[in-house]
Every structure is written in C-alpha cells, then in structure tokens.
Amino acid sequence: MKNSIDAPYGAPDKVRKICLRYANRGSDLIEVLHDVQAVLGFVDETTQKEIAEALNITRAEVHGVISFYDDFRSEAAPGTIVRVCRGEACQSMGAENLLPVAEELTKGRPRIGVEAVYCLGNCALAPAVTVGGTLHGRVEKDHLVAIVEHAALADEASE
C-alpha cells in the first residue's frame, strides 16, 4: 500500500533529534513513536526507516509496533476524528445507535474520520465519544451531530 502523503519537509532531522532524546535506545521505541507522531502527525514509511536506523532495530520491528496500536498512524489523520466507544457499558447505553450517525456525517467529507474504541474509562457517563480528542459523556444522536459539525467547522477554518 502506498502512502498518499509523505512526511513534511525537514522531518528526518526532527526524527533524529527525537531518537537522540532517548539515546537511540531501541527499547524506547514506543516513546519515540509517540513523540514523532506528536510532531509530524503520523509516522510514514520513510520515517519508520529513519527510526529503525537511528534506534538500530529492524524496519519490521517498527512496523510491528505501529500496526499493533490503533493510535499510531502511518498515514495523515483526518482533521476531525470521532471515536465511538463500543465497550460493554456504552453498548448497553445505546452507543451502537451512535455509530451509523457518525458514519453518515463522513459521507463526502474526507476530513472527518470515525473509529471504534473499546472503553474510554468513562463508563459512568456512557455512551462516551471523543471528538477531536475531547471526551463527551451521555451522548445522544443530536448532541453528537452538533459536536462533530462544530469540530469540523473549526477544522475547516484552520485549513
């Protein structure tokens, strides 16, 4: 699979600096990935190679870790990410009804992405959803549409 977007200009320098921050220790791969993603937004294959080289580990190891965790991305993320919890508590409180609503919102709008998560630790306020990293509890359908549209507007404005 080919990545549609390459890492931004100057990325290799930034990546090397981050690796150096962890003394190029292979055992700190996850920390490095977090920091790289925080700076670049995602970790594309070119960057994965850079990291492997700097930490003196294999490309396969880097790829294995990135592909294991949903939070690590090898492609640029959509501007607005909606995460709907599908854990037991949220399911029992109607989260399954929220998913089609969220998916409906993405139609024709590539800058909105919907993902499933399994527990946001907000069970007491189920169903839980995060939009653009902000946690919302007791979410209902209309409420969800409003939050997402609001976030999408902000995203478009920032574009």
Partner 1 sequence: MPVHRQPDFGTPAKNGADVSLKIDGVEVIVPEGTSVMRAAREIERDIPKLCATDTLEAFGSCRLCLVEIEGVRGTPASCTTPVSEGMEVTTQSPRLEKLRRGVMELYLSDHPLECLTCAVNGICELQDMAGAIGVRDVRYGYAGENHFDTIHADPVDLSNPYFQFEASKCIVCSRCVRACDEVQGTLALSVQGRGFGSKISAGLLSEDFFASECVSCGVCVAACPTATLSEAALVAHGAPTRSVETTCAYCGVGCSFRAEMQGDKVIRMVPSKDGGANEGHSCVKGRFAFGYATHRDRITTPMVRDKVTDPWRVVGWDEAIGFAAKRLKSIVAEHGKEAIGGITSSRCTNEEVYVVQKMIRAAFGSNNVDTCARVCHAPTGYGLKTAFGTSAGTQNFASVEQADTILVIGANPTAAHPVFASRMKQRIRAGAKLIVIDPRRIELVKSPHISADYHIPLQPGTNVAVLNAFAHVAATEGLLDNAFIKQRCEDDSFADWLAFVSEEKNSPEAVADIVGVEAATIREAARLYAGAENSAIYYGLGVTEHSQGSTSVMAMANLAMATGNIGREGVGVNPLRGQNNVQGSCDMGSFPHEFPGYRSVEDDAVRASFEKDWGVSLSAKPGLRIPGMFDEALAGKYLGIFIQGEDIAQSDPNTKHVTAALKAMECVVIQDLFLNETAAYAHVFLPGTSFLEKDGTFTNAERRINRVRPVMKEKCAMAEWQVAAALATAMGYEMAYTSSAEIMDEIARLTPTFARVSHKRLDEEGSMQWPVTDAAPDGTPIMHENGFVRGKGHFVITDFVATEERISRKFPLILTTGRILSQYNVGAQTRRTKNSKWHDEDVLEIHPHDAGQRGISNGDMISITSRMGNTTLRAEISERMAPGVVYTTFHHPLTGTNVITTDNSDWATSCPEYKVTAVEVKLSNQQSDWQSKQREIAATHYKTEPAE
What minimum distance in Å lies between the beta carbon of 71 and partner 1?
12
What does 16-57 look like in DSSP terms, one character per residue?
HHHHHHTTT-GGGHHHHHHHHHHHHSS--HHHHHHHHHHHT-
Nearer to partner 1 by C-beta: 118 or 150? 118
- Minimum CB–partner distance for residue 66 and partner 1 (Å): 9
Dist CA 58 CA 41 (whole Å): 22
- CB closer to partner 1 out of 56 and 92: 56
Helix (H, G, I), strand (E, B) or coil at 63: helix
CB of 15 to partner 1, least distance (A): 15
Provide the strand spans (E) within 4-153: 80-85, 112-117, 129-131, 134-136
* 59/150 with CB nearer partner 1: 59
Distance between CA atoms of residues 111 and 135, nearest Å:
19
The contact set with partner 1 (CB under 8 A) reads: 1-2, 26, 45, 48-49, 52, 56-64, 67-68, 74
Q: Closer CB to partner 1, residue 67 or residue 92?
A: 67
- CB 63 to partner 1: min, Å: 5
